Amino acid sequence: MTKKSFLLIFTGLVISHNILMAQNEDVVQYINTYKFLAIREMQRTGVPAAIKLAQGILETRAGASDLVKRSNNHFGIKCKTGWAGSKVYHDDDERGECFRAYATAEDSYRDHSDFLKGSQRYAFLFQLDPTDYKDWAKGLKKAGYATNPKYTQQLIKYIEDYDLQLYTLVALGKKKLDEGSPALAGNNILTTQQPGTPVAASVSKGAGSSTPAKPVEPLRIRFPEGIFKINDTKVMVAVAGTSLLSIAEQYDIKYKHLLDFNELAEGNDILREDQLVFLQRKRRQGANKYHLVTQGETLYSIAQEEAIRLDFLLAYNRLHGQELPMEGQLLFLQKSAAEEVMAGHGPVGSEMKEGGGPRGFSATEVITEQQYQKHIVQAKETLFSIARKYDVNITQIRSWNGLRDNTIRSGQELLIYKN
C-alpha cells in the first residue's frame, strides 16, 4: 500500500468517526430533551417510553429533519381523514404529502400516543408486555406504521444502543432516575437538564472545585408549607418526585404557563429535588437591591429565591447565564442598583470590594436594559441568519430566549445581547 493510499484511508476513517460522534451527540441531545415527555406519555396511555423515544429519534433523524423543524411532527404522522389541525406538505413516499403540524413537541408526543391508542389497527400492541420492546417494534411494522423494511431493526438498535428501555422501567416505577444503571445516573451524559435548571441558562456547580460545599438547610425548613409569597409573588415548595403537571392541574394553571413562570424546559416534568415553584410570573426586579451570593448558589436558584426573572438578573449583572457566581459576590436585583454603581454610589462596608464597586463587578461592567436589543423575526429568517446579522452564535440566541431548538416563527420577538 502506498503512503498516499494509507493517508486517504486514514483520513476517511477519521471523517467517518467524527460524523458518527456528531450523530451520537445529536441522539443523546434528543433523548435529554424528550425523555420526560416519553415517560409521562407512557404513564398516561401505555405506549412504552423506549419505543416512543426510538421512533422519535428515527423519524426526525434526532431532531434534524426538515419535517420536524417545520412542523414539530416527531413521528411522521400524516394528515389522514378527519385531521382538522394545522398541516405541512413534505416529500415522503410520494411528493408533497400532507403531514400533521403541531404548535409544540409536547402536542406531537401526545397526538402520537392518542393516534396509537385510539386506532383499532394498533390495538393488539397494548396487549403486549410494555417491556417487550422487540415485539412492540415488530408489531408497529406489521401494522403498517412505516414502509421502511428495516424499521423494526432500527428501532431495536436505538433502544439497545442508548439503553432506552430504562425509561420504560422508570415509567412503570421499576427504576428510579438515579438507580441501577449508568444511563440513569446523575453523572452520565444521558441526564443533563432537569427541573431546577432554567431554559435560559444551564449553570454547572463548578467541576474541579476541591472545597466541599457547606450543608444547605432544606427548602421545607426554610420556607412555610402551602402557598406563600416572595417578592409579592405566589410560590410553594414542591418536594422531590412531584410532577409539575400535577401541580398545574391542582392549581388550575396551564402547564406551559407553569413552566414559563419557573423558566423550565418542556419535558422535564418530574422534580429530582425539592424546589420553589412559582404559581405566578416572577417580577422584573427583586424586593431588595442586592443579593450576596452564598456557597453552592447558582444564578437560577438565586432568581428563584429572590422571585426575579432570570433574564433580568442576568441583564442587571452583565452575565450570559453560563457563569457560576462566586461566594461573597454581590449581584444587582434592581436596575437602580446598577445605575447607582455607575454613578459612583452603591453598597458600602463589607459589601464593597477594595477600590469601590461590588465584589466581582466594577462600575464599568454594569449593564443596563438598553444593551439588549429586541429583534422581530421576519419571514424566511433563520437563527443562523439572525446570528450572522448580530455577530453572535446560535447557542447564545437560544440561551437568551429559552429556545429548545432552532425553530422560530415569523413575528416572534427575540432578545439579542449586544456586547
Higher pLDDT, 176 or 113: 113
Phi, psi (deg, nearest 5) at residue 99: -120, 150
d(CA 371, CA 368): 6
Q: How confident is the model at residue 196 (pLDDT cuts 50, 70, 90)?
A: very low
Higher pLDDT, 416 or 88: 88
Catalogue the E-assigned strands of 104-232: 228-230
For 317-343, the pLDDT digits (tens) are 888 776 777 777 788 898 887 777 655
pLDDT of 260: 92
The mean of the pLDDT values for the chain is 76
Question: At how many degrees (to 10) do helices 151-161 and 49-60 cross?
Answer: 110
For 87-143, the pLDDT digits (tens) are 888 877 678 789 999 888 888 999 999 999 988 999 999 999 999 999 999 999 999
- DSSP labels for 345-412? ----GGGBPTTSSBTT--GGG---GGGEEEEEPPTT--HHHHHHHHT--HHHHHHHHT-SSS---TT-
pLDDT of 20: 40
Residue 16 confidence (pLDDT) above 80 = no
pLDDT of 199: 44
Contacts of 238 (CB under 8 A, 6+ apart): 244, 247, 271, 274, 275, 276, 277
Which residue carries 453523572 as its cell? 187
For 32-73, the pLDDT digits (tens) are 888 888 988 988 889 999 999 999 999 999 988 989 998 999
State the DSSP H helix or E strand holding residue 414, giving kind and residue range, or none if neither.
strand 413-417
Catalogue the E-assigned strands of 59-213: 87-90, 97-100
Closest CA to 271 of 251, 290, 248, 291: 248
> What domains, with CATH codes, occur in the chain?
3-184 (1.10.530.10), 219-367 (3.10.350.10), 370-417 (3.10.350.10)
Higher pLDDT, 366 or 141: 141
Contact 327, 293 (CB under 8 A): yes
Identify which of 164-178, 293-307, 396-410 has the greatest average pLDDT. 293-307
Residue 296 confidence (pLDDT) above 70 = yes
